[in-house]
Amino acid sequence: MTHIQVSFEEESQNPPAVGHWKPLMPSKGEKEEPESGCQDAGGVHEPQSTEQLNVSRLRSSSVEIREKGSEFLRDELHKAQKELKLKDKECERLSKVREQLEQELEELTASLFEEAHKMVREANTKQAAAEKQLREARGKIDMLQAEVTALKTLVITSTPSSPNRELHPQLQSPSKAGFRKGHGRNKSTSSAMVSAASQNVAPEPVSRECREVDSILFAEFQAWKESPTLDKSCSFLDRIYREDVGPCLDFTKQELSELVRVAVEQNTLTIEPVASHTVPVGKVVAEECGGPNGFRSQILTKCALSGLPRTCKHRIMLGDSGNYYYISPSCRARITAVCNFFTYIRYIQQGLVRQDVELMYWEVMRLRREMSLAKLGFYPSEM
């Protein structure tokens, strides 16, 4: 028993020899070889067939992978070509849109420039027409002023108490009127002027005054015009305050004069006409008028600014105080001249005056002249 076990262990430790096994049946396509040949080459042929099988398998799998890869690449290429075509179409569409927008922009720009030039031409035409109308209006005003001056010269010689019989031919006797009518050339100079006025003969135009721009004043006005302000520190307004505004508002009552100046500067002064029964009566003077009523009473009161008894047809109020001060026509003319000046420079400051600089300068000079004349005591008769 022990011997048998030892022999079995020896046999198990010794592996069987390779190549001694014979296949039961030969494979298809193969020929039976002699046992000796199989014993000699059996150990080399079997690994070569396995390696060839593995190579053939690798080749078939690589061909299959290559075909699948090429098919995938063809699909991807086809997709890419489709996307490229879509992008080309989108680019073409966007380029067309851009060209259309550029064309519309050019047309819009051209139309805007054309409209702007048209507006400028229309504005220039309107400005030229307005300047022409202004010149014509000024000419008419000059002519009317000349006519009014001539008529005043004619009427000044006639009063209700002693009417000029040349102006009122109905007051003449028939024989005398007929004589004068037939011998008009023998009249005096004043009678000839009256006859000309009665026949509506236009008077000769009044010669216009000459003027020349003062370089210093014009330079100060131009500097002020660049940045208009109501500050008295600038040279333009400082000069006008010293030369015109200050003297024109320098009344006898200094305290009230200062309040009036401040109200004028702040644009809070009010001037209004008053009825005769509201004026505080200081003195009543009977003046012959030659009318159906026989006499007319002229009411005199003390002017609040000059302190003199004058015919006060207007009164002023400073701000919202509610206190009224009665002023004479001369004081009213002085205050009105200063108010007109401040109103005009406020219009310039607010940009409401659109004229040439030289025209604005001459308007300022005209307002300064009015202040100077009012200070000297000259004022219109309707004051």
116-165 pLDDT, tens digit per residue, is 999 999 999 999 999 989 988 988 888 888 788 777 666 554 444 445 55
In a domain, 360, yes or no: yes
**Residue 181 neighbours by CB distance under 10 Å:** 11
Same domain flag for 230 and 360: yes
In a domain, 199, yes or no: no
pTM over 0.75: no
pLDDT for residue 175 is more than 50: no
240 burial type by CB count under 10 A (0-12 exposed, 13-18 middle, 19+ buried): buried
Same domain flag for 80 and 225: no
Same domain flag for 232 and 111: no
Going through 215-347 in order, the beta strands assigned E by DSSP cover: 269-273, 283-288, 295-302, 309-310, 314-318, 324-327
Tens digits of per-residue pLDDT, 251-266?
Answer: 999 999 999 999 999 9
Same domain flag for 254 and 341: yes
In a domain, 120, yes or no: yes
Measured CA to CA, the distance from residue 41 to residue 203 in angstroms comes to 157
Write down which residue in 157, 185, 200 finishes a domain. 157
Same domain flag for 137 and 63: yes
- Amino acid code (one letter) for 64: E
In a domain, 324, yes or no: yes
In a domain, 189, yes or no: no
Same domain flag for 225 and 372: yes
Nearest to 218 by CA among 367, 365, 369, 366: 365
In a domain, 65, yes or no: yes
Same domain flag for 140 and 69: yes
**What's the whole-number mean pLDDT along residues 342-356?**
90
Contact 285, 300 (CB under 8 A): yes
Contact 142, 208 (CB under 8 A): yes
Instruction: Indicate the Cα dihedral angle 104, 106, 112, 115, nearest 10°.
Output: -100
Nearest to 311 by CA among 291, 287, 335: 287
Same domain flag for 332 and 266: yes
Measured CA to CA, the distance from residue 82 to residue 79 in angstroms comes to 5
Nearest to 167 by CA among 196, 147, 143, 189: 196
Write down which residue in 157, 184, 200 finishes a domain. 157
- Amino acid code (one letter) for 326: Y
* Chain centroid offset of residue 247 CA: 38
% pLDDT > 90, the chain: 46
Same domain flag for 151 and 225: no
- Amino acid code (one letter) for 81: Q
**Total number of domains in the chain:** 2
% pLDDT > 70, the chain: 67
Q: Which domain holds residue 358?
A: 215-276+299-376
Same domain flag for 232 and 329: yes
**What's the whole-number mean pLDDT along residues 325-343?**
94
